Copies of this chain bind each other. A is one copy, B any other.
Amino acid sequence: MESKIRVTVWNEFRHEKEGGAAQKVYPNGLHAVIKEFLDKNDDMEVRLAALDDPDQGLPDEVLNNTDVLLWWGHCHHWEVNDELVEKVRQRVYREGMGFIPLHSGHHSKPFKAIVGCTGDLEWGDGVKEVVWNLNPSHPIAAGIPKAFELPVEELYSEPFFVPQPDQLVFGSWFEQGNIFRSGICYFRGLGKIFYFQPGHEEFPSFYNEYVQKIITNAVRWAKPVNRVIKDECPYVGTGLFDKTHEENNI
C-alpha cells in the first residue's frame, strides 16, 4: 500500500439538487459524504465526479488516473455516453481499475457491460433492512458483525439477474418478506468489481458506520493488483492487445 489509492466517486448528482428528502439527507450530494469518510484513510486520495461535469465527470486524465471508481446512478443511466462506458469497461478489464457500483448502480451501463447481465431486480418502498455477513473471512467483511440493521432502505429483492457472484459477501433481509444478495464480488480481466446495495438517495445509509466500513474495505480490496501482466513466457502466441481484437471491438 506504498502509493495512495486514487479513488473517484462518481455520482449522478441530480436528486440532491432537486430539493426534497434527498437534499435534506445529502445536501452536498451523497458522493460528498462518501468522500468524507474515505478521506479519513491515509492510504486513499479521493476526488468527486458528477454526470453534469465536463465529459460527464470522467475526462481521460481523470479516468486514467483512477485506481478505484465508485459509481452511484439512478434515473439517468441512459444519459451516460456509450463511449465513456466502453472506456470504463476497458480500463477495468485491461488496466485493473476497481469498480464499485452502489445501490441503483445495478442498472448502470458500466456495471451491465462489465459483468454481463441485465441487472434486473424487484423493488419496493423503504422498509427495514438487515444486512447479514455471509463470508466473515472476506476482506470486505473485516470488522463487520454477523448482521446489522438499517432502519429504512429501499426494498431490493430477488430475483436479481446478475451472474452468480464470484464471492457472495453480504445478503439482506427486508421487512416485507424479501431477500437480496446485497454485497457481491466479481473478477473481470485485470479488474475487480464489488456491488453493494444500500444507499437510496433519501435514506441516511451512507452515514451508517458499517456501510462506511464496507465501502472502505471494498476500495482496498478492489485496488489494482496487476496493472500490466508481464509476459516473460516463451509459450504465448499473439498478444492480449492484438489488433484483430480491437477490430472485433472487444
A138 at the interface (CB under 8 A from B): yes
Min CB distance A192 to B, Å, is: 5
- Nearest B residue to A154 via CB reads B237
Residues of B contacting A120 with CB < 8 Å?
189, 240, 242, 245, 250
Tell whether A118 pairs with B130 under 8 Å between CB atoms, given A135-B164, A237-B155: no
Question: Which B residues are in CB contact (< 8 Å) with A174?
Answer: 173
Report how far A100 CA is from B230 CA in the complex, Å: 26
Docked CA distance A22–B181 (Å): 34
Bound Cα distance A177, B203 (Å): 20
Q: How many copies does the complex hold?
A: 4
B78, B166, B234: the one within 8 Å of A163 (CB):
B166
Q: A122-B237, A130-B235 are in contact. Are A167 and B168 (CB under 8 A)?
A: no
The CA-CA distance from A236 to B229 in the complex, in Å, is 32
Chain A residues in the interface with B (C-beta under 8 A):
1, 77-78, 93-94, 96, 107, 112-120, 122-124, 130, 132-139, 141-149, 155, 157-161, 163-164, 166-168, 171-174, 176-179, 181, 186-192, 224-226, 229-240, 242, 245, 247-250
